[in-house]
Amino acid sequence: MAMSFEEYCRDVFDPKKIFGKPEPLKGKRFLSCTQYILGPSCANYLAELGAEVIKIELPRRGEPMRHTTPFNEPKLYPLSKQMPEMGTGLGFFGANHNEYFLSVDFHKPEGQAIVKMLANKSDGVVENYRAGTFDRWGIGYRQLSQTNPRIIYQWLGGFGGWGPGRKRASYDILGQAQGGCFSVTGWPLDKGGNPSKQTIWIMDYWGGMMGAFQILACMYWRDNVSGLGNFMEYSQVQGAQRHLSDCIALYGRHGLVPQRWGNYDPLVSVHGIIKCGKSSYPNSKNPQELEEGFILVSAYKDADFAKLMKLITRDDLAKKYATHDERIKAESQYEIYPAIEAWAKDKTKEQARDILTKEGINNQPVWNSKEVSNQEHFHLRGELEWLDDPTFGDVQSQGPAFHLSDSPPRHKWAFKPVGADNEYILGKLCGFSKTKMAELEADAVI
Ligand SMILES: CC(C)(COP(=O)(O)OP(=O)(O)OC[C@H]1O[C@@H](n2cnc3c(N)ncnc32)[C@H](O)[C@@H]1OP(=O)(O)O)[C@@H](O)C(=O)NCCC(=O)NCCS
């Protein structure tokens, strides 16, 4: 073959060619009745793959996530045409790409009629309100499937629609707390630690991905097997609990409750994050950058561990902990990691990286958002992009996380103001006249 594998990948995944290629979900239409991140990210993944996604929000103010942003700024203006002095906070950013923005008041009978009309012309609905809210409004799966039995309805909730906990409100943080995740995150007590939350909403984005995955399975089943839709329940808490890996099995088999381990790993040693003694940016005005750096080191195979110990001139530890069974004990880890940190005390994370890499020891400095943003690798591959957004101008954004050679995902725009596509969608799919739409807008139905 003339091309190397690298050349082949560079060619078939070339970000510059993406917009000339077909979209795998083109022709599929979904309503996204979603708020915060869990539901929106699910619909976002479908829109990245080319589905026509219509996000439906409360008229004028939109959904709550538009009003969340770090330190109240920066915002992307306007929020809606009725509120040009307000903007959308960056909390909304990242989970609503490529969508059409419609505003509908679900309380009002005319609003509910619009949802029904749209659902009759759609493949599916993504929704993440409380258990039973849409059913109470008469626009849940039970009602919509009467006129569109092919509809695929993905409801993402906190605890599911049945069982004693079903009525509670849920958020990513609650899912992770009840699902058991935080109990194993953070430093152990003898290191002065507490349980620790993830700063990013990892269970929301994971839940959204699970929802999109289930929708694809349902579309396959409908289009190739049954001809029928499906009602899907995704519980955010159970999604979090599903991630506990060995923790539940350990308790079930041995009655042991897994503990927090900080930056050490309870299953693999050495496989953790260590502190270097020096800042990479000693002259920075950013206090975070004045801190010492951190680096991940992974050397759990016996030969790699021996190499690492030799490098840090601790052959004694190489002998003492020559086997993984010895290394993985808690007391061993408490001796090994401080020894590596003692070696890194007079180094920046980049200096540690260079030395470890030269010795063939797997490592990675812990990067901040600025360092991530400036990585050539991500930019070349379209994983970080400067989006020329039609409404907001240049915005730096993460690209879709996966690449498809022949029908790739893509970002066309980040999002739009509340109700920006009311005329387009209601004209195209409901046949409403401009006068009718003006009346609905005056009555705050849309
Ligand atoms: C996020 C959550 C706690 C919010 O709870 P909540 O606002 O009390 O209840 P619901 O989500 O059922 O929303 C109902 C309210 O939405 C408001 N609303 C939002 N969009 C609306 C619209 N387009 N039209 C009319 N009302 C709307 C109304 O005020 C309505 O209140 P009502 O019950 O008086 O009619 C809840 O939706 C939830 O637990 N969802 C599942 C888990 C989840 O996705 N969490 C967020 C991601 S972390």
**What's the pLDDT tens digit per position in 383-404?**
999 999 999 999 988 999 899 9
What's the gap in Å between 130 CA and the centre of ligand 1? 6
Question: What ligand 1 atom has the least distance to the C-alpha of 133?
Answer: 12
Tell me the pLDDT of the chain (446 aa) as tens digits: 789 999 999 999 999 999 999 999 999 999 999 999 999 999 999 999 999 999 999 999 999 999 998 776 789 999 999 999 999 999 999 999 999 999 999 999 999 999 999 999 999 999 999 999 999 999 999 999 999 999 999 999 999 999 988 889 999 999 999 999 999 999 998 888 899 998 899 999 999 999 999 999 999 999 999 999 999 999 999 999 998 989 999 999 999 999 999 999 999 999 999 999 999 999 999 888 899 999 999 999 999 999 999 999 999 999 999 999 999 999 999 999 999 999 999 999 999 999 999 999 999 999 999 999 999 999 999 999 999 999 999 998 899 989 999 999 999 999 999 999 999 999 999 999 999 999 999 999 99
Res 243: pLDDT: 86
To test the pocket of ligand 1, the residue of 133, 167, 237 to mutate (highest count of ligand atoms within 8 Å of its CB) is: 133
- Domains of the chain by start residue, with CATH: 5-242+384-442 (3.40.50.10540), 263-373 (3.30.1540.10)
What's the gap in Å between 169 CA and the centre of ligand 1? 9
**Shortest-distance Cα residue to atom 12 of ligand 1:** 130
Question: What ligand 1 atom has the least distance to the C-alpha of 204?
Answer: 48
What's the gap in Å between 30 CA and the centre of ligand 1? 19
Answer yes or no: pTM beyond 0.75.
yes
Question: What ligand 1 atom has the least distance to the C-alpha of 104?
Answer: 23
Tokens describing residue 317? 């530890």
CB of 38 closer than 6 angstroms to any ligand 1 atom: yes
What's the gap in Å between 178 CA and the centre of ligand 1? 20
CB of 156 closer than 6 angstroms to any ligand 1 atom: yes
Half-sphere exposure of 120 (CA within 13 A, CB side): 9
To test the pocket of ligand 1, the residue of 130, 204, 440 to mutate (highest count of ligand atoms within 8 Å of its CB) is: 130
CB of 57 closer than 6 angstroms to any ligand 1 atom: yes
